[in-house]
Structure 1
């Protein structure tokens, strides 16, 4: 199979390369991105073969650093310090990409006013295996084909007209894998409490969630229709569903989970603005 990023135009700088940015980069490298055209600025990120690794922006700049594409992947609270050092290198030929929670396109445009384009991307960790989902919104003279070439190897891409819903999307899809992992972990723990071994409980829970999601993705039916195919009146499944559905408690719980994550994203954005 041809690797989609062998001919990606330009050079790429990652400012911050933690779990999410690192997952994206590893996927891009697997898809043919030339490591010689990539640089990382991160004092603690694991080194990657063939990629220039710098502990600071000053070190990158001293090495003659320049880039056509810059992706911000550090903590949102660091935006002020990073922008002060980096903005002079982000001119009208540079695409600025950001995966920073809570940092809006308007914030990015204010910090990096000379960039050719500002692109806000909200991926999730399943990008590591090409099964993620990335919401994207942009301002400026965006090279849409090149942005699409970067995002397609990560999984499904959802273009947004603007970034007004990004705080919710951050909670919904960006944080979502952690919530799903916790649900699987809790499901397995419940099985263990009721008599399964910890190994069997986790294996069965993982397979049950994985198979159910795969079936839903492959089906034209809504979740409720598939529920009805499993449950029968007065049966074992319905007995469990009665507990889950009582008083709308499950929807209420998930609403509170998403609200808390969304609101924290907004708080982080406010902190980043205050510390500029």
Structure 2
């Protein structure tokens, strides 16, 4: 698929343009999306050249707002109010896109039954540089080619047959960059405690994690194969691995991290439905 959006057809409305939606929009603009075709409804969004911005949906509607592509990027708790205001403009020509944590396709279909398609997208922050991961699932008569062209500039796209695993994917890839950043931060802090300067520790940690993940992606090997290439029996690497692997504590810790994030996504879904 092409990574250029110069030929992308249709008007787009972003309802909410915080960190994640803003990262996506920034990448789309770099890929050639026409700013004049985009509107943002968000009273707190930083101004973007060439894009019409509104403080509320009422203001956008009052200005004759219309869009064939509507992306929900606000807080999930705001879904009910937003759906009521958008009902008149989400029609059989509208692709309703959502990056709202915990809000299922069933929820979207109930709120926006007239939409041509409801599309649930779970991107992550690396979309900002075109190195993100976006999981996507849809209902209705979705234009899969157009959706693919829209998401492709953001990085890797994984199309799911349904959204039954989306809460886990939200934790795994959506929240995942923050978990990796914390690991890098902690790795650097450990180096600092053992004698490195703070600046050198962070620089070395960032390069080590970045190089290791790049090598893994390029090699096509499983992590265990590369681990064996670094570690030798009785050597320094194996001494460290013995600590990491002790009693399966690392795997247990990460499982608990993902479970907590996944379960919070489910709680947010209940709140969005008015059940929490």
TM-score when normalising by structure 1: 0.98
Question: Which stretches of structure 1, 4 residues or more, deviate above 6 A after TM superposition?
Answer: none
Gaps of 5+ in 2: none
- Count, aligned residues: 275
Partner of 2:157: 157
The structure-2 alpha-carbon separation of the partners of 1:275 and 1:89, relative to structure 1 and needing over 3 Å to count, comes to farther
Describe the SS at the equivalent of 1:58.
helix
Describe the SS at the equivalent of 1:88.
coil
Deviations 1:239-276 (A, max 9, x none): 00000000000000000000000000000000010179
Partner of 1:55: 55
Contact 1:95 1:116 in 2 (8 A): yes
Q: Residues of 2 paired with 1:24 and 1:164: CA distance?
A: 24
Deviation at 1:3, TM superposition (A): 6.3
Partner of 2:227: 227
Partner of 1:31: 31
Contact 2:3 2:149 in 1 (8 A): no
Describe the SS at the equivalent of 1:89.
coil
Q: Residues of 1 paired with 2:231 and 2:61: CA distance?
A: 62
Q: Residues of 2 paired with 1:93 and 1:44: CA distance?
A: 29
Q: Residues of 1 paired with 2:104 and 2:6: CA distance?
A: 31
RMSD: 1.1
Tell me whether 1:140 sits opposite 2:140 in the alignment. Answer: yes
Describe the SS at the equivalent of 2:87.
helix
The structure-2 alpha-carbon separation of the partners of 1:22 and 1:275, relative to structure 1 and needing over 3 Å to count, comes to farther
Contact 1:3 1:32 in 2 (8 A): no
Q: Residues of 1 paired with 2:172 and 2:106: CA distance?
A: 22
Deviation at 1:220, TM superposition (A): 2.0
